[in-house]
Structure 1
Amino acid sequence: MNSNKIILIVGRENLRKDGSLNNSLFAYLEQHQFTILYEPIGSAYYHILNFEKKYIWLPNIFKKINRKICLFKYAALNFKNYYNYYKANINYVEFRSRILKQLISKMGTEKEIIIISRSAGGLIASLIADEFNIKHIICLGYPFKHPEKETEPHRFIHLKKLQTPFLIIQGKKDEYGGIETIGNYALSPSIELFFVDTDHDFKTSDDDWKNVLAKINTIINLP
């Protein structure tokens, strides 16, 4: 395993919505010789996923106990961060960005970091990527516009100046920005849009999922 190459997973706000998608993605990533790390916000959930996949034969009662233990340990270890979050009353995007920057800062400049993100995770990653030595960002389902809210420029205004290479794999029917995204936003030359036939939940046909993985593979196998 090449310890200088890191795949950093940055998930969406509601991680539990992506159970099957995460399992498929992680199964693919495990075939490659990279160190796989998870953002602090999602680390407990990803640990639970990995545990249940490894010990699939365990009765559900033991899996439930493990979930509670993982969440309790995560809350205890990250109490200071959450306390500061509530005390300062900062917004969730700023909070997640701050935590992610702390993690990347500890990795060192010699690491080759590729971020694979999902939905809001792509927003967080793209906001901070130019501050660090990020090799590439990949996002499955970027949240250009919340379907139940007015336009929020903080979701996309920074994309016109982004320097870090950014692959956005977007569903043609994504309610957060589908095929109509083309031409609606000012995107820097470092950003590539790749469309597949799905919505924001990213449930795809087997053929489309193979195309998604093939596209991701062009990035994570960079020399």
Structure 2
Amino acid sequence: MKAIQLGVVVITIAWTGAATAQTEEGQSAQADAPAVTASAVIKRCDTQEPIGRARLRERASPEGVKIVEVGIRIQNGLTEGKHAVHIHETAQCEPCSAAKGHFDPGPHGHSSPDGNHPFHAGDLINIDITDMSGGVSDDDGTPLGSGGMRTLTTRVTLSDGPLTLFDEDGSAFIIHVDPDSYCPGGEEAGCAGGARAACGIILRDEP
């Protein structure tokens, strides 16, 4: 009986070791895979004038989790202060309302800006416009400045899958007139940033 039990233990250890090796090998392959990248030209909603650029890069963590790095830089194009930034569900920017609601795929998705906020897959951090030294103003004399944001998200992917930004409708960045308050009091109107100031269609870079 002891010999049989020992044999079972040896087989179990050997199988577990093989499974662990296969898992680690798969994670290593994912981590070593070429990064998927994308970009967007950010344009003002009122004039369609280009005011900045967004860059995205997907990489895998050592555990195989897909992480998307998002960076946006605005040059003399938005008013001073914080502005909400979200990924919206349609790759259309003319007019900016054509980008539709927030990107939030899946059976329980809720694209309404004030519904499920800030838990949409496309909800990001605010961009902060702090450099007003460019001497550029809006038509009504309002000064326009520069700024940027960088963040990481695991809510979306650039590669194929259920969270990909490149579904049949594509996706776009929307930058809002006001900051995102992240709706601390619930889903009140306007808590996601108000009117749309700028938009950029997200395009996957060629390998």
Higher helix content, 1 or 2:
1
**TM-score when normalising by structure 2:** 0.22
**TM-score when normalising by structure 1:** 0.21
RCO higher in structure (CA 8 A, sep ≥6): 2
Structure having the higher Rg: 2
